[in-house]
Amino acid sequence: MIINDRKDLDAAPDDVRERFVNSLAGSINKYLWNGSEWTLEQNTSEIERFGFTLADFPDAPVPEAPAYNPDERQLEQEAEEVRTQRDALLKESDWAVLPDAPVADEQAWKDYRQALRDVPEQGGFPTDINWPEKPEA
């Protein structure tokens, strides 16, 4: 059964109406990240669409505040992406440190690869990376 407005809701069987009203109650209280902390906000747009007010839902459930910081999650994701890129550059340069590699400056390649391994230690990691310059082959 599709419920688009209050008329549909009033015409619905009791069990459907009860489930729908419970769902509406659950849509009121939401936590939003404001850049430094989670804040509880009430969104009444859904209940108003069906002719209800907050007074109709005095016991609307309040969800538990999330226990994570989305900014930290974003940084963790960026760090993983940078490490993946770094790992790809290391893999691309594996050949240069083989004993019979045709390179003019073996130490330059070793230094390059060490600088890649040190990328996570940079002060701006993971948002401001100074990528080392690849030596000439």
Determine the Cα–Cα distance for residues 20 and 6; give it in Å rounded to an integer: 11
The per-residue pLDDT of the chain, averaged, comes to: 93
Which residues neighbour 42 within 8 Å (Cβ) at sequence distance 6 or greater?
28, 29, 30, 54
Determine the Cα–Cα distance for residues 33 and 40; give it in Å rounded to an integer: 9
What pLDDT, on a 0 to 100 scale, did the predictor assign at position 1? 80
Say which residue the tokens 């994570």 belong to: 68
The two structure tokens encoding residue 71 = 């900014």
- Going by pLDDT thresholds of 50, 70 and 90, the confidence category of residue 5 is confident
Determine the Cα–Cα distance for residues 104 and 90; give it in Å rounded to an integer: 18
99: phi then psi, degrees, rounded to nearest 5: -55, -35
What pLDDT, on a 0 to 100 scale, did the predictor assign at position 84? 98
What pLDDT, on a 0 to 100 scale, did the predictor assign at position 77? 96
Percent with pLDDT over 70 in the chain: 100
pTM of the model: 0.59
What pLDDT, on a 0 to 100 scale, did the predictor assign at position 115? 98
